[in-house]
């Protein structure tokens, strides 16, 4: 952003417009190989998604403009209501729990002691483990009768532990716990980077003032981490609302519809059923939710910064 405007080299003094054209050509030649693919396979479908939402089109019929009819249909679609509710439920669990877990991990691992690198590596590894492996393992850990989770719960005196992925009430908490375990390492890395920017003098000053560890955390660490926390929150929000693959692999929306989420409804309606128009309307709602929440977060952050 802070680039100095390139000075034309005095030696190659051609007519100006010709040079300008050359620069444009050279610039585009760098961008083009990527841009062709990007425009065709990302930009175009993205724009098409908006238009499709206003069409009545399934894989057999010819597309027909129907205005807001798809959105009206959403209002009465029970699947949509359930999916919207479940998505909000997932976000309400995934966002705060991951944030707290990531910050906790970062605080625990932000020490200069021998071997800490090993622990950081270990905490990050779940994030790059394939979802399929993660889902299979956690489905077994959550096994209602003999799974380690319930054995541990019984060992600490819970006589009737939840049936997790086998029950409609506990499937979503199981998915949330799995996703928190998987994602916390990623956000831990961001928090560790944030923690390292806090000058040590702040802590020393607080110590001189007689602040204990808890007070130092709340009055130095938390305020200094605000930019990181803001970024983490935005990322977590976007990530939560578009959750798809974990659910598809772990519960496939079940049992019943108890873990059906919006992105999965888009997949089912659009790709399995071939209702291109209707599925795009759901996708548009998903996008608008994500956009609204993100913009709101930016606004809030600006207002706080202004204060």
Partner 1 sequence: MTALHDAPPATTGSPGRAPAGAARRGRGLVRKVLAYAVLVVVAALVLVPFAWMVSASLKQNNQVFTIPIEWIPREFRWSNFAEIWDRIPMLTYLGNSAFLAVTITLLQVLTGSFAAYGFSKVRFPGRDALFLAYIATIAVPWQAYMVPQYIMMQQAELTNTYWSIILLQAFGAFGVFLMRQYYMSIPDELCEAARIDGLSEYGIYRRIMLPLSKPALASLALLTFVNTWNDYMGPFIYLTSNELWTVQLGLRSFVGQYDAEYAMMMTGAVVSVLPILVIFLFGQRYFIRGIATSGLKG
196-255 positions binding partner 1, by CB under 8 A:
228, 231, 235, 238, 241-242, 244-245, 248-249
* Shortest Å, Cβ 303 to partner 1: 21
Cis peptide bond prior to 255, omega within 30° of 0 = yes
- Residue 100 binds partner 1 (CB under 8 A): no
Nearer to partner 1, 39 or 300 (CB): 39
Interatomic CA distance for residues 135 and 124, integer angstroms: 17
Q: Does 33 bind partner 1 (CB under 8 A)?
A: yes
- How far apart CA 138 and CA 175 sit, in angstroms, is 9
> Taking CA 162 as the corner, what is the angle to CA 267 and CA 130, rounded to the nearest 5 degrees?
45
Minimum separation from the CB atom of position 16 to partner 1 (A): 14
Q: Give CA angle at 209 (204, 215), nearest 5°.
A: 80
Q: Say if residues 188 and 106 touch (Cβ distance below 8 Å).
A: yes
Let me know: does 53 contact 273? Beta carbons within 8 Å: no
176 is a site residue for partner 1 (CB under 8 A): no
Residues near partner 1 (CB under 8 A), total: 97
Q: For the CB of residue 294, give the shortest distance to partner 1 in the complex, in Å.
A: 7
Q: Measure the CA dihedral 240/243/249/254, to 10°.
A: 90
- Helix and strand totals (H; E) in the chain: 15, 2
User: Which residue among 61, 129, 168, 292 contacts partner 1 (CB under 8 A)?
Assistant: 129
Query: Out of 41, 65, 218, 298, which residue is the one contacting partner 1 (CB under 8 A)?
Result: 41
Taking CB under 8 A as the criterion, the residue among 13, 17, 18, 34 binding partner 1 is 34
Among 84, 141, 175, 293, binds partner 1 (CB under 8 A): 141
CB 208 within 8 A of CB 242: no
Subset of residues 66 to 95 that bind partner 1, contact rule: CB under 8 A: none
Which one of residues 291, 298, 302, 304 is an interface residue with partner 1 (CB under 8 A)?
291
Question: What single-letter DSSP state applies at residue 57?
Answer: -
Q: Using CB under 8 A, which of 86, 221, 259, 279 touches partner 1?
A: 279
Q: Does 175 bind partner 1 (CB under 8 A)?
A: no
Choice between 51 and 222, CB closer to partner 1: 51
Q: How far is the CB of 304 from partner 1 (least distance, A)?
A: 19
174 binds partner 1 (CB under 8 A): no
Least separation, in Å, of the C-beta of 188 and partner 1? 10
Does position 161 bind partner 1 by CB under 8 A? no
DSSP string, 182-237: HHHHHHHHHHHHHHTTS-HHHHHHHHHTT--HHHHIIIIIHHHTHHHHHHHHHHHH
């Amino acid at each position: 952003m802070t680039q100095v405007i390139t000075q034309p080299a005095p030696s190659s003094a051609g007519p100006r417009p010709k040079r300008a054209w050359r620069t444009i050509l050279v610039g585009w030649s760098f961008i083009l190989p990527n841009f062709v693919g990007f425009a065709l396979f990302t930009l175009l479908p993205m724009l098409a998604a908006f238009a499709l939402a206003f069409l009545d089109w399934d894989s057999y019929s010819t597309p027909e403009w129907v205005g807001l009819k798809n959105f009206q249909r959403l209002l009465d679609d029970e699947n949509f209501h359930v999916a919207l509710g479940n998505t909000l439920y997932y976000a309400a669990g995934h966002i705060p729990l991951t944030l707290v877990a990531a910050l906790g991990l970062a605080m625990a691992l932000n020490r200069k002691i021998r071997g800490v690198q090993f622990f950081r590596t270990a905490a990050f590894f779940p994030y790059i483990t394939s979802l399929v492996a993660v889902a299979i393992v956690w489905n077994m850990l959550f096994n209602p009768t003999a799974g380690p989770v319930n054995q541990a719960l019984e060992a600490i005196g819970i006589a009737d532990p939840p049936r997790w992925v086998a029950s409609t009430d506990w499937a979503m908490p199981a998915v949330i716990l799995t996703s928190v375990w998987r994602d916390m390492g990623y956000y831990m890395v961001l928090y560790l980077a944030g923690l390292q920017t806090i000058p040590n003098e702040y802590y020393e000053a607080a110590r001189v003032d007689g602040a204990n560890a808890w007070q130092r955390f709340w009055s130095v660490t938390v305020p200094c981490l605000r930019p990181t926390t803001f970024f983490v929150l935005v990322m977590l929000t976007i990530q939560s609302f578009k959750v798809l693959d974990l659910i598809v692999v772990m519960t496939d929306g079940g049992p019943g519809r108890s873990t059906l989420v919006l992105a999965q409804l888009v997949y089912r309606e659009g790709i399995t059923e071939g209702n291109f128009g209707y599925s795009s309307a759901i996708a548009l709602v998903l996008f608008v939710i994500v956009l609204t929440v993100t913009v709101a977060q930016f606004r809030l952050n600006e207002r706080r910064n202004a204060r």
